[in-house]
Amino acid sequence: MEDNGHQIVMCSQKSQLGPGDILFLISCSERIGDAYRQKYRHVLVLHASDLPKGRGWSPHVWDIINGSEHITLSLIDAAENIDTGDVWKKITLPVKKHALWNEINHILFQGELELMSWAIQNHANIVPEVQDVSETATYWPRRTAKDSRLAIEKSIQEQFDLLRICDPDRYPAYFEMHGRQYKLRLEYYDEE
């Protein structure tokens, strides 16, 4: 694929990687070691948190569950220690309190495209900054299906942020009652 004179190759596994100028790592679950990183002028990670806070897995999901009304997207150098690379740029993306998982993903994807375009245009002039060492790093665990479990003793209002961020196909919201599990799908009703 070619865009604005740039040849773009999309890979889903590190075994598919060939040499190039810039490698963007987006939702990458494989460790990209030094041998792979040396094939590129720049290896950049798009991470949806205000690093060094929110290192680890699915940070924007955890932030939304905890009531955040924005996503901070960080563009950083890939480093041997995951999510510790120098910062190229950060942007803040507002997320409305009624936005559902697919809309939140769209906001995130648009931000990622913006940062990738910016990096392509500015990579020759960037002097990345070391992550703020005065900030205590925090880490999120990898989400599992259990993290989408609703508590039947809590109200919908108390759990709305969890309910709205759950991808109904990959990590559906569910609750347990009477020895069974029930899956919930949240959709807008007022637009039908």
- From CA 135, how far away is CA 156, in angstroms rounded? 34
Q: Which residues, in sequence order, are CB contacts of 188 under 8 Å at separation 6+?
A: 100
The Cβ of residue 79 has, within 10 Å, a number of other Cβ atoms equal to 15
Hey, where are the domains in the chain? 2-142, 144-192
Q: Does domain 144-192 correspond to CATH entry 1.10.20?
A: no
Q: Which fold has domain 2-142?
A: Rossmann fold (3.40.50)
pLDDT tens, position by position, 65-123: 999 999 999 999 999 899 999 999 999 999 999 999 999 999 999 999 999 999 999 99
Whether the full predicted model's pTM is greater than 0.85, yes or no, is yes
Cβ-based neighbours of 8, under 8 Å, separated by 6 or more: 1, 2
Paired with 73 in beta bridges are 91
pLDDT in tens, 121-150: 999 999 999 999 899 999 999 999 999 999
